[in-house]
Chain A
Amino acid sequence: MQTVIYILPELFLSLALMSLLMLGVFIKKSFKLVNSLTIISLIFAIALIINQPNETIKVFNDSYIIDKFSIVMKVITLLFTIFILFISKDYLKNNNIDKIEYPIIILASVIGMILMISSYDLIIFYLGLELQSLCLYILASIKREDQKSTESGLKYFILSSLATGLLLYGCSLIYGFTGSTNFEVISKSLDSVNSGAIFGVVFVIVGLAFKVSAVPFHMWTPDVYEGSPTSVTAFFALVPKIAALSVFIRFMYVPFGNIILQWQTIIIFLSIASMLLGSVAAIGQNNIKRLMAYSSIGHMGYALAGLAAGTNSGVQSLIIYLIIYLVMNLGAFACILLLKRENNYYENINDLSGLSKNHPMIALCFLIIFFSLAGIPPLAGFFAKFYIFISVIEARMYTLAIIGLLATVISAFYYLKIIKIIYFDKPKKPFDTSYDWGLKIPLIISSILILTYFVYPSAILNVISFIEIH
């Protein structure tokens, strides 16, 4: 019984999921109720997680870990899920997809993600991964009558299954050559001579790289981002990235901690390729969701650069980068969801033309968020990159740093292009004025956070500085 206390948040969320499902089935037209209850149970789960003991605990035969790292990542996951539920409400209603399945599937996938974050065993990890992935396939195609949405769901499903297959193959190789699925045991018996296991490690990295959409395993990202309903795209751009990156960190530092030199080269390659492709390929995009897809590919490249440094400060800079990335993308998608005219949502970047004339406040938010995404000081996005490059240069990877910063300049071009369309071009018909505070509040919060981050830049660092990966 003692161990059950430690997984209370997970248990609570699973129970909430089941009861909400029942509730949704028995009460007709209960989207609003289920949505609100989902948000409330997520908030409650955050409270439970924060109250967990402030020490490292391994339960269930060392297959499940609760440490500071997992607590921080879980809280971020749940927090941004809540924000996503807030900003998507209006969009769902206008697109007639305000079904109870939406919050429930999101809840289920979030449970999968927290399982992933806390997993300390290949099998638990795989279970969590599958739970979240299956939910994501359904979410992508939740707009059933829409051809693009179903197509993106199917595409995601097929490609992701392939990647998961590779990952599972890698896991089985690792198990075969080390004799265990437990992370700690693996780390002890894994060394640079064990080439069979290293073979498995490469497969696992491929699977994980697919999940964070790092180049060259990024092909699904633009299509899925474009095809899915925008609120689902927002979810894809934010929440699964947290889980995938934290699993990435855990894998690299715990089971594969002894073979840093072996995996470092792979991560450096993934990072450089993602940064370059993310910045170059986005230039030609006209659909803002596709553009955000390439932008997120590029950003994952920077995050992986922090991982490639192979130091504790590298991990910290990665987490800082991730948090700032989440805040910026939340704001960006809130802006995109505001571009509505008579129940039609606009996704082409040319529709933004002259936004500054008709909606000065939204335009200002766009300006702040996109300059921040481009990494121009003194906005938060600059500090995110700054921390990454500090740890990269500490590890003396000058080539990586120089390529990364050159990619920043290239990517600045397409962010500037959007700002140009908003501020320099001729205005078009105004969009609807939105009165939905669920959209506006996250937007205002994220813009203000980005703008004022420079006042106290060590804010996030202080929170996460105690994190160590076990």
Chain B
Amino acid sequence: MNFPILSAIIFIPLIGALFILITRGNEKNVEKNSKYVAIFSSIFNFFLSLFLWYLFDASSSNFQFVEEKVWIDGFIKFKLGVDGISILFILLTAFIIPICIFSGINSIKFKIKEFFIAILVLETLMLGVFCSLDLVLFYLFFEGGLIPMFLIIGIWGGYKRVYSAFKFFLFTLLGSVLMLIAIISIYWITGTTDLVQLLDLNISKEYQYLLWLAFFSSFAVKMPMWPVHTWLPDAHVEAPTPGSVVLAAILLKMAGYGFIRFSLGLFPVASEYFTPLIFALSVIAIIYTSLVALMQEDIKKLIAYSSVAHMGFVTIGIFSITKQGLEGSIIQMISHGLISSALFLSVGVIYDRFNSRLISTYGGLVNTMPKYSFFLMIFTLAALGLPGTSGFVGEFLILVGVFQINFFVAATASLGVILSAAYMLWLYRRIIFGQITNSDIKSAKDLNKTETYIFVSLAFLILFFGFYPEPLINTVNVSINNLIENYQTDLDFYLTQTNN
């Protein structure tokens, strides 16, 4: 297998973006052609990543499809590879981007060509994050994503777009610069930035705490964890629908992926040491943001706060460092990627029709939009973790994992499940049922063809993984076992070191 399939997956969207950039001619044609190029390259990429999944050998814990080239002589390698954890995120990304492009065709009204370029470049960068096996390369892709996302929020966003775009950019950048210092320090401490080599090396204990904190500052902002989550509601509310979808479905997952891959993999001692901190912040996030979500009047803001709460589950799952907890948090991330994008798309559908995101303008939608109400019900129930949806599998596994470690944390987190049921169901009732107060709703059109297809595919996956999460678990199983095993041996190694 010499064909560089990972490079192909990463760079196909970029090539698509270049094609769109150089198309010239009259405006109608350019728009049409760039639409086709964007759809084609993203869907092709999705099939290519499915093919990658098919080729992937789930019984091996090694990195597969590894590509390695010298990039900066004797220093940084351009090294790509996937294991059971990252391949799921690649699939998620490749699945969500076509949906964003379809939704963009519906909802983006101007500069559509530039929009396609931005979103395809963003896809390249996000896929790069999940594929890269070199810290510097990872940082490059991780930070590079800021540019297209900044433009997406700022150009096509809502009323307060400039403020939100700046807040998003500066918050994330501030978090990440410390990670850059940590990466360079790792290079000088160990002599390499190659992840595979670093996983075998043991970084000495006195450095681990500071390095862990530096990585944490970046991932915590991106995740986002309480109290640095404030950029997220702003960014979500002001971003256009496809922007919110990418943000919720993929960009947030980069941080969770980073925690699993780097914080646990490279700094086991520090991870063990700081687990109480993570638990505390996550539990606060779950309870606090759920309560905040309860009081929101803006639908998008409500979903954004619920995202923060769901991400809180993910972090406690990761740092429980049990098999169930880690598997649960990965499934939770995938399912949250599907559910939150479905919810944001649902908001987008009614926003396109009635031009309002306020809950109070809606009511009685079930009378005129039955199809829409049906799908929204599936997504709402999935978001509150009803058994039979993918949301349940993730949350359940996480709680199982955390119960083994810390009863109190698990119990408090379970409270979050109840709260999420409260705000989601209340939201659903206020939008869908009740009296029609807004005269526009009386003449509302139900879902059109594209929207129906998008919703059917998302609902199918949510229900499918709810009833049958086997494919996901099979893929991550070996990698998770290997991760935990390494973690334990590293920890033992450090323990014996201190005892001697």
Given the contacts A393-B188, A420-B154, A405 and B181 also touching, CB distance less than 8 Å: yes
Query: Closest CB-CB distance, A390 to chain B, in whole Å?
Result: 5
5 residue pairs bridging A and B, Cβ less than 8 Å apart: A376-B173, A393-B181, A398-B181, A416-B150, A424-B154
Rank and list the top 5 A-B pairs by shortest CB-CB distance, nearest first. A405-B177, A377-B140, A458-B72, A393-B184, A377-B143
Query: Closest CB-CB distance, B179 to chain A, in whole Å?
Result: 10
- Report B169-202 residues with CB < 8 Å from chain A CB: 169-170, 173-174, 177-178, 180-181, 184-185, 187-188
**With A and B bound together, what is the CA distance between A378 and B10 in angstroms?**
15
Closest to B182 in A: A393
Residues of B within 8 A of A424 (CB): 154-155, 161-162, 165
Residues of A within 8 A of B75 (CB): 458
**With A and B bound together, what is the CA distance between A315 and B165 in angstroms?**
37
Contact status B185-A393, CB under 8 Å: yes
Residues of B within 8 A of A458 (CB): 71-73, 75
Given the contacts A412-B169, A416-B169, A461-B72, A376 and B180 also touching, CB distance less than 8 Å: no
Most buried by B among A371, A390, A393, A402: A393
Specify which of A409, A420, A461 is in contact with B177 (CB 8 Å cutoff): A409
Given the contacts A389-B180, A406-B177, A424-B154, A461 and B73 also touching, CB distance less than 8 Å: yes
Closest to B113 in A: A360
A220 within 8 A of B: no
Query: Closest CB-CB distance, A182 to chain B, in whole Å?
Result: 37
- Report B119-168 residues with CB < 8 Å from chain A CB: 136, 139-141, 143-144, 146-147, 150-151, 154-155, 161-162, 165-166
Interface string of A52-79 (1 = CB under 8 A from B): 0000000000000000000000000000
Query: Closest CB-CB distance, B203 to chain A, in whole Å?
Result: 15
Q: 17 additional contacts, CB 8 Å, given A393-B184, A458-B72?
A: A376-B144, A376-B147, A376-B173, A377-B139, A386-B180, A390-B184, A393-B181, A393-B185, A402-B181, A405-B180, A408-B173, A408-B177, A409-B173, A409-B174, A416-B169, A420-B166, A423-B155
**With A and B bound together, what is the CA distance between A280 and B101 in angstroms?**
39
A462 within 8 A of B: yes
A401 within 8 A of B: yes
Residues of A within 8 A of B139 (CB): 377
Contact status B188-A394, CB under 8 Å: yes
Contact status A390-B187, CB under 8 Å: yes
**With A and B bound together, what is the CA distance between A389 and B180 in angstroms?**
9
**With A and B bound together, what is the CA distance between A420 and B184 in angstroms?**
31
Given the contacts A377-B139, A424-B154, A457 and B72 also touching, CB distance less than 8 Å: yes
A413 within 8 A of B: yes
Contact status A413-B155, CB under 8 Å: no
Residues of A within 8 A of B144 (CB): 376-378
Residues of B within 8 A of A382 (CB): 140, 143
A454 within 8 A of B: yes
Interface string of A324-360 (1 = CB under 8 A from B): 0000000000000000000000000000000000000
Residues of B within 8 A of A398 (CB): 181, 185
Query: Closest CB-CB distance, A357 to chain B, in whole Å?
Result: 9
Contact status A412-B170, CB under 8 Å: yes
Query: Closest CB-CB distance, B2 to chain A, in whole Å?
Result: 21
Interface string of A378-417 (1 = CB under 8 A from B): 1000100010011001100010011001101100110010
Residues of B within 8 A of A377 (CB): 139-140, 143-144
Specify which of B141, B155, B170 is in contact with A409 (CB 8 Å cutoff): B170
**With A and B bound together, what is the CA distance between A213 and B165 in angstroms?**
33
Closest to A420 in B: B162
Residues of B within 8 A of A408 (CB): 173, 177
Residues of B within 8 A of A457 (CB): 71-72, 76
Residues of A within 8 A of B188 (CB): 393-394
Residues of A within 8 A of B71 (CB): 457-458
Contact status B184-A389, CB under 8 Å: yes
**With A and B bound together, what is the CA distance between A386 and B161 in angstroms?**
31
**With A and B bound together, what is the CA distance between A16 and B452 in angstroms?**
75
Residues of A within 8 A of B173 (CB): 376, 408-409, 412
- Report A405-438 residues with CB < 8 Å from chain B CB: 405-406, 408-409, 412-413, 416, 419-420, 423-424
Contact status A402-B178, CB under 8 Å: yes
Residues of A within 8 A of B184 (CB): 386, 389-390, 393, 401
**With A and B bound together, what is the CA distance between A279 and B173 in angstroms?**
15
Contact status B181-A401, CB under 8 Å: yes
Residues of A within 8 A of B141 (CB): 378
Closest to B125 in A: A378
Interface string of A259-299 (1 = CB under 8 A from B): 00000000000000000000000000000000000000000
Residues of B within 8 A of A419 (CB): 150
Query: Closest CB-CB distance, A202 to chain B, in whole Å?
Result: 31
Contact status A376-B72, CB under 8 Å: no
Query: Closest CB-CB distance, B127 to chain A, in whole Å?
Result: 14
Closest to B166 in A: A416
Query: Closest CB-CB distance, B18 to chain A, in whole Å?
Result: 11
Query: Closest CB-CB distance, B359 to chain A, in whole Å?
Result: 28
Contact status A376-B143, CB under 8 Å: yes
- Report B468-488 residues with CB < 8 Å from chain A CB: none
Residues of A within 8 A of B154 (CB): 420, 423-424
- Report A428-470 residues with CB < 8 Å from chain B CB: 454, 457-458, 461-462
Residues of B within 8 A of A413 (CB): 166, 170
Residues of A within 8 A of B155 (CB): 423-424
Closest to A454 in B: B140
Closest to A390 in B: B184
Contact status A462-B73, CB under 8 Å: yes
**With A and B bound together, what is the CA distance between A389 and B186 in angstroms?**
13
Residues of B within 8 A of A389 (CB): 180-181, 184
Most buried by B among A377, A378, A394, A401: A377
Closest to A462 in B: B73
Residues of B within 8 A of A412 (CB): 169-170, 173
Residues of A within 8 A of B76 (CB): 457
Given the contacts A389-B180, A461-B73, A378 and B169 also touching, CB distance less than 8 Å: no
Query: Closest CB-CB distance, A224 to chain B, in whole Å?
Result: 31
Residues of B within 8 A of A376 (CB): 143-144, 146-147, 173
Residues of B within 8 A of A386 (CB): 136, 180, 184
Residues of B within 8 A of A409 (CB): 170, 173-174, 177
Query: Closest CB-CB distance, B255 to chain A, in whole Å?
Result: 17
**With A and B bound together, what is the CA distance between A413 and B169 in angstroms?**
9
Most buried by B among A371, A401, A409: A409
Residues of A within 8 A of B161 (CB): 424
**With A and B bound together, what is the CA distance between A457 and B147 in angstroms?**
20
Residues of A within 8 A of B181 (CB): 389, 393, 398, 401-402, 405
**With A and B bound together, what is the CA distance between A406 and B217 in angstroms?**
13
Query: Closest CB-CB distance, A421 to chain B, in whole Å?
Result: 10
